[in-house]
Chains A and B, each alone.
Chain A
Amino acid sequence: MFTSSKGKEVANGKATEPAYEMPWVEKYRPKVLEDVVGNVDTIDRLKVIARDGNCPHIIISGMPGIGKTTSIHCLAHALLGDAYKEGVLELNASDERGIDVVRNKIKSFAQKKVTLPPGRHKIIILDEADSMTSGAQQALRRTMEIYSNTTRFALACNQSNKIIEPIQSRCAILRYSKLKDQEVLKRLLEICEAEKVQYNDEGLTALIFTAEGDMRQAINNLQSTWSGFGFVNGDNVFKVCDQPHPVLIQGMLRNCHKGDIQSAMEKLDELWDQGYSAVDIVVTLFRVTKTFNELPEYTKLECIREIGWTHMRVLEGVGTKMQLAGLVARLCKMNMKPELFKL
């Protein structure tokens, strides 16, 4: 939720601030399939389609910011070329996509006559298709079938299982996995070079940590850090992203592991005084914990459970420092001798 909404907010920001520099996510958005980062196997398959035409109905599923929509656009451009404008209908989650839209707008587009070379079809792009109601999806089902000789559908979604089975059955499903850190890094370095960004390694690591495989967010954060501070280092990135510094959190976890509640609480105080909300802290805590290899397997598991409980409570509305202090106390207690608690 966080990552995606954040990413998109910034991405949409361009509309309101046309005078500013173009967002790098747009500027460096791949135009051809070759440039799309990651998921090599899957994109190879799309290239075959792009070359040969006769695109099947496809569903691309995967996390936000890994190039689903971008690759559909690239594919559509490659397939249709100049006819892109009249040959493509794109509907976003923000567009109205109720049943009547499916039955009217989509149908009338499907019936529209567009002259295309053989083996090419009109393409209807439904972004974030999993947000469509299942009623609307049911209505889509027949349309897909009836017009399949002139029109093909490309659906992008976060979870393919949110698409009803009859539609899944009609589509080739391509799943994009999360981008690897190296893949994100490579792209970031390219952009840094092109934009002459000054950075250090720590800064890039921080960008990758905060983005969690979401390319869009990584690039947005890079741009924000660069234009805000003029230098990309770890501290600046975390300031821009407004996230607690993971090093601090790691320290806290180490204290907890030793059962050193004093120091752990001091770190929590520090974070709290910096103005981070309970959600910020607990989310970062989880992110750090799950990849923190210093913790033994058992401790990690118990930590995740405790953090999870606290996260749930915070989401339920009790985003107080008390909850976090309780969490820290439990994490410490776990590692202290049980005899100490006997009266």
Chain B
Amino acid sequence: MAPTAGKKGAAAPRKGKTDKPTIKHVQLGLVPLNGSQKPLRQASLTKFSVSLPSPSSSQELPKKSPIAAVKVKASTKGKERAVEAVEDAGMWMDRFAPTSLEELAVHKRKVQDVRHWLEEATTGGPSGTLKTYRRLLALSGPAGAGKTATIRVLAREMGIEIMEWQNSQDGMDPFGDEFPESHSHTFSNFLSHEAGMEEHLNLLPLFSRPTTSHPSAQRVLLLEDLPNVLHPGTKEAFQKSLEDIVNRPNAPPVVLIVSESGARGMGAEGWRREERWDMRNILGPRLLQSPYVTEVQFNPVAATIMHSALSRILSQTHPTTNHLRPSPETLDMIVESSMGDVRSAINALQFACRVQMAEVVKGGGSGKRRRGKKGKVGEVVRKIIEGVTRNEQVLALFHILGKLFYNKRFGDDPEENEDPVLEASIRGSLPLPQHLSAFERRPSKVDVNTLYADSPVDISLLSAYCHQNYPQFCSELEELEVAAEWISYGEAFSMDSEHINMQLPEYAFHLLGRGLLMSLPSPVPRRGQKLLKSAYWEFSRKERDGIESLRSWSRHDVGAARDHRTTEMLERAWLMGRAGLPQPKEVSLLAYMPWMPPIRGGGYGQQLLEEGEVAEVEPAIPMSQNYKMEASDDEGGHGTVSKASWLEDDDIEED
């Protein structure tokens, strides 16, 4: 069965669903299974939970894959029946977890990549030799991109068992966590790592031993609940044991799943390299470059795919279109604000449905709010979504940026009817002294205090976005200079300051906000400016890549015993170039890292589009309408981005 399992699984219609009741969960050796039940305490300190089809089921239905999915899935199934009785129990992200390839909200190509790897890892591919090299699959990507779901669904279809690593229940962790870094502990620390590793390795024979009931079943080791690899010692031990597993040809292949943070250019990120929770840091350069390791990077879920996934769920919860079913606009809004996080989107959908229901029940008769205008309903829903999805930061961020960059002031538009009371309250300021009259401004409509009070946005994030985008909104070089000056003042206060004082970020916000308002022209000319994602993360990632590979080159080719500083390595590489020797190609990674797009060739603008975070800001219109989620390949958008960035008066042409 094994060699054909993949194909058959793919071809097999979605029978899995109906078969489910026949499949039992079997406990294998050291397996505590269900979440609700007391786990067995194992001397081994490690637990792998495995669910297997009962022998009978696998005989009866040889090509229906044994369900490899673990307890989450298991419990969900049981739940699904209960759900019929108790409406709405359980979370939708569990209830509607994808069960087949069609339901998987992941790009087909990624699924294919993973499928090929799994095929090759279990059967060795067409030539049968690839098995040796498909030892570790590293799935990385932002949270909610469908990494785990892909593996589970594929494994089920292909008849592969998943054995999942779980961190131990017992106080002692195989990898040892957070030992106090004192000398007295270092040794015991070391020992426990060693011991843990041994334990870990000792488990392997268990897995490679063929079980009598399923001689043909393929196994994959799933590592998702990682030990605390932020601890350097633990990380080392972890990498070491991974290497050991990888180098053992008869051990099962390993799938490692890492939800990378900061992949969207959002959220807290440790600035220090060793604190990053990403694949590079967790695996380490040696494993990453090993021929046994394949990395597949998942991207945020594209809007269209997300849309159909949500629609699928809705068609199950609200089979008929009625007033309880969220409107298409609501759906759009959820998709847009989720930023490619399908889990968060499903959460938001569930929440929206419930709140909407509540609204209907509550305001059934009054109808004032709901039936009046469509826009009104949208407004209510928008508020809900804004408050529920994790990406409120995004919406708020663009809101703040819009407020700042459009620099609205009283008297911008003589036609407009201003609120005289509000204006008077701001106008009441003392006059500026004569020599400062150049800084006289009409009263601003932006209240920085309120903006700060309502802002959930991290100041360093805001500052990065301001820095990326301010040039488009300036008309004169002088304005650029002043704006840059204020941004840098703001930055001086935002650097890592929370450890010192909670108040310093507030200074940063005021300096950034008020400084921008002061330096931008008023009114700001509208030129179709588009807000771009800060390029900082992209470049810092590239820089890390460059340095990392340069370092490995330096170790490898030059045979340097210790890590050199980047400058030294670059110098050496440069000298080699001068001497006519071939330069390592890594140098080019570092050699050209513009912070702005090249004047010719729009490679950079493209990148931003691919990231899918281009937004046009017009504060008067609700953000969601303008907020473009998906990278479109339409040429127009492409052109405008490179145009709207630097040097817009220069004739920029796309290659």
Which positions in A face B, CB cutoff 8 Å? 1-2, 4, 41-42, 45, 48-49, 51-54, 56-57, 59, 61, 98-100, 103-104, 107-108, 110-111, 113, 118-119, 133-135, 138-139, 141-142, 145-150, 159-166, 168-175, 177-178, 213, 254, 257, 259, 283, 286, 290-291, 293-301, 304-305, 307-308, 311-312, 315, 334-338
Asked if A56 contacts B350 (CB within 8 A), the reply is yes
Asked if B177 contacts A52 (CB within 8 A), the reply is no
Residue among A59, A103, A162, A163 with the highest chain B CB neighbour number at 10 A:
A103
Asked if A160 contacts B390 (CB within 8 A), the reply is yes
Asked if A178 contacts B277 (CB within 8 A), the reply is no
Asked if A335 contacts B453 (CB within 8 A), the reply is no
Measured between alpha carbons, how far is A108 from B35 in the docked complex, in Å?
A: 10
Given contact pairs A171-B347, A308-B507, A146 touches B429 in the complex (Cβ within 8 A)? no
Residue among B91, B142, B260 with the highest chain A CB neighbour number at 10 A:
B91
Asked if A297 contacts B510 (CB within 8 A), the reply is no
Interface band, chain B: 35 or more
Q: Contacts of A298 on B, CB cut-off 8 Å? A: 432, 436, 439-441, 518
Given contact pairs A134-B270, A161-B393, A257-B430, A175 touches B456 in the complex (Cβ within 8 A)? yes
Given contact pairs A1-B503, A299-B432, A293 touches B91 in the complex (Cβ within 8 A)? no
In order of increasing CB-CB distance, the 9 nearest A-B pairs are A298-B439, A169-B143, A308-B507, A135-B228, A142-B225, A168-B390, A166-B259, A166-B143, A178-B453
Closest to B356 in A: A48
Asked if B177 contacts A98 (CB within 8 A), the reply is yes
Asked if B259 contacts A293 (CB within 8 A), the reply is no
Indicate whether B169 reaches chain A with its CB closer than 8 angstroms.
Answer: yes
Measured between alpha carbons, how far is A4 from B498 in the docked complex, in Å?
A: 14
Asked if A290 contacts B449 (CB within 8 A), the reply is yes
Given contact pairs A294-B428, A337-B434, A110 touches B510 in the complex (Cβ within 8 A)? no
Measured between alpha carbons, how far is A118 from B89 in the docked complex, in Å?
A: 7
Measured between alpha carbons, how far is A213 from B36 in the docked complex, in Å?
A: 43
Q: Contacts of A174 on B, CB cut-off 8 Å? A: 387-388
Asked if A148 contacts B228 (CB within 8 A), the reply is no
Q: What 1/0 flags go to B504-543 for Cβ under 8 Å of A? A: 1011001100110110000000000000000000000000
B105 to chain A, nearest CB (A): 14
Asked if A135 contacts B177 (CB within 8 A), the reply is yes
A332 to chain B, nearest CB (A): 11
Indicate whether B596 reaches chain A with its CB closer than 8 angstroms.
Answer: no
Q: Contacts of B441 on A, CB cut-off 8 Å? A: 297-298
Given contact pairs A175-B456, A291-B449, A304-B510, A148 touches B431 in the complex (Cβ within 8 A)? no
Closest to A49 in B: B354
Indicate whether B581 reaches chain A with its CB closer than 8 angstroms.
Answer: no
Measured between alpha carbons, how far is A331 from B428 in the docked complex, in Å?
A: 20
Asked if B517 contacts A297 (CB within 8 A), the reply is yes
Measured between alpha carbons, how far is A97 from B515 in the docked complex, in Å?
A: 41
Measured between alpha carbons, how far is A4 from B501 in the docked complex, in Å?
A: 12
Q: Contacts of B618 on A, CB cut-off 8 Å? A: none
Indicate whether B631 reaches chain A with its CB closer than 8 angstroms.
Answer: no
B583 to chain A, nearest CB (A): 38
Measured between alpha carbons, how far is A56 from B389 in the docked complex, in Å?
A: 12
Measured between alpha carbons, how far is A12 from B258 in the docked complex, in Å?
A: 40
Given contact pairs A294-B428, A297-B444, A100 touches B173 in the complex (Cβ within 8 A)? yes
Residue among A56, A61, A162, A334 with the highest chain B CB neighbour number at 10 A:
A56
Measured between alpha carbons, how far is A160 from B389 in the docked complex, in Å?
A: 12
A-B contacts, 27 listed (Cβ < 8 Å): A1-B503, A48-B355, A52-B354, A53-B89, A56-B350, A98-B178, A103-B169, A104-B171, A138-B226, A139-B167, A150-B36, A164-B267, A165-B267, A172-B389, A173-B392, A175-B387, A177-B454, A254-B430, A290-B449, A294-B429, A296-B430, A297-B518, A308-B493, A311-B501, A312-B493, A335-B433, A337-B434
Q: Contacts of A100 on B, CB cut-off 8 Å? A: 171, 173, 177
Given contact pairs A141-B225, A160-B456, A311 touches B503 in the complex (Cβ within 8 A)? yes
Measured between alpha carbons, how far is A62 from B132 in the docked complex, in Å?
A: 52
Closest to A98 in B: B178
Contact of B231 among A2, A135, A335 (CB under 8 A): A135
Closest to B442 in A: A297
Asked if B500 contacts A315 (CB within 8 A), the reply is yes
Closest to A100 in B: B171
Indicate whether B88 reaches chain A with its CB closer than 8 angstroms.
Answer: yes
Measured between alpha carbons, how far is A44 from B433 in the docked complex, in Å?
A: 50
Measured between alpha carbons, how far is A170 from B493 in the docked complex, in Å?
A: 32
Q: Contacts of B261 on A, CB cut-off 8 Å? A: 164-166
Measured between alpha carbons, how far is A42 from B76 in the docked complex, in Å?
A: 29
Measured between alpha carbons, how far is A175 from B259 in the docked complex, in Å?
A: 24
Asked if B351 contacts A134 (CB within 8 A), the reply is no
Q: Contacts of A164 on B, CB cut-off 8 Å? A: 261, 267-268, 277
Q: Contacts of A148 on B, CB cut-off 8 Å? A: 72, 90-91, 94
Indicate whether B81 reaches chain A with its CB closer than 8 angstroms.
Answer: no
Which positions in B face A, CB cutoff 8 Å? 35-39, 71-72, 75-76, 79, 85-86, 88-91, 93-94, 142-144, 166-171, 173, 177-178, 224-226, 228, 230-231, 259-264, 266-268, 270, 275, 277, 341, 343-344, 347-348, 350-351, 354-355, 358, 383-384, 387-390, 392-393, 425-426, 428-436, 439-441, 443-444, 448-449, 453-454, 456, 458, 461, 486, 489, 493, 500-504, 506-507, 510-511, 514-515, 517-518
Q: Contacts of B260 on A, CB cut-off 8 Å? A: 165
B524 to chain A, nearest CB (A): 16
A184 to chain B, nearest CB (A): 13
Asked if A111 contacts B449 (CB within 8 A), the reply is no
Asked if B388 contacts A172 (CB within 8 A), the reply is yes
Q: Contacts of B510 on A, CB cut-off 8 Å? A: 290, 301, 304
Asked if A162 contacts B268 (CB within 8 A), the reply is yes
Q: Contacts of A165 on B, CB cut-off 8 Å? A: 142-143, 259-264, 266-267, 390
Given contact pairs A100-B171, A100-B173, A304-B514, A45 touches B94 in the complex (Cβ within 8 A)? no
Measured between alpha carbons, how far is A104 from B45 in the docked complex, in Å?
A: 13
Measured between alpha carbons, how far is A54 from B83 in the docked complex, in Å?
A: 12
Measured between alpha carbons, how far is A304 from B449 in the docked complex, in Å?
A: 13
Q: Contacts of A99 on B, CB cut-off 8 Å? A: 173, 177-178, 228
Closest to B389 in A: A173
Asked if A337 contacts B388 (CB within 8 A), the reply is no
B607 to chain A, nearest CB (A): 21
Asked if B515 contacts A301 (CB within 8 A), the reply is yes
Q: Contacts of B88 on A, CB cut-off 8 Å? A: 52, 54, 119
Q: Contacts of B461 on A, CB cut-off 8 Å? A: 161
Asked if B428 contacts A113 (CB within 8 A), the reply is no
Contact of B277 among A1, A134, A257, A293 (CB under 8 A): A134
Asked if B167 contacts A295 (CB within 8 A), the reply is no
Asked if B354 contacts A301 (CB within 8 A), the reply is no
Measured between alpha carbons, how far is A169 from B391 in the docked complex, in Å?
A: 9
Asked if A103 contacts B341 (CB within 8 A), the reply is no
Q: Contacts of A161 on B, CB cut-off 8 Å? A: 266-268, 393, 456, 458, 461
Q: Contacts of A49 on B, CB cut-off 8 Å? A: 354
Measured between alpha carbons, how far is A303 from B275 in the docked complex, in Å?
A: 37
A1-B503, A56-B350, A99-B173 known; 7 other A-B pairs, CB under 8 Å? A113-B36, A166-B261, A259-B433, A296-B431, A298-B432, A308-B504, A315-B500
Q: Contacts of A173 on B, CB cut-off 8 Å? A: 387-390, 392
Closest to A48 in B: B358
Closest to B345 in A: A169
Measured between alpha carbons, how far is A175 from B225 in the docked complex, in Å?
A: 28
Closest to B168 in A: A103
Asked if B501 contacts A1 (CB within 8 A), the reply is yes
Asked if B429 contacts A296 (CB within 8 A), the reply is yes
Closest to B276 in A: A134
Asked if B89 contacts A54 (CB within 8 A), the reply is yes
A286 to chain B, nearest CB (A): 7
Residue among B144, B383, B456 with the highest chain A CB neighbour number at 10 A:
B456
Measured between alpha carbons, how far is A42 from B429 in the docked complex, in Å?
A: 36
Q: Contacts of A299 on B, CB cut-off 8 Å? A: 432, 436
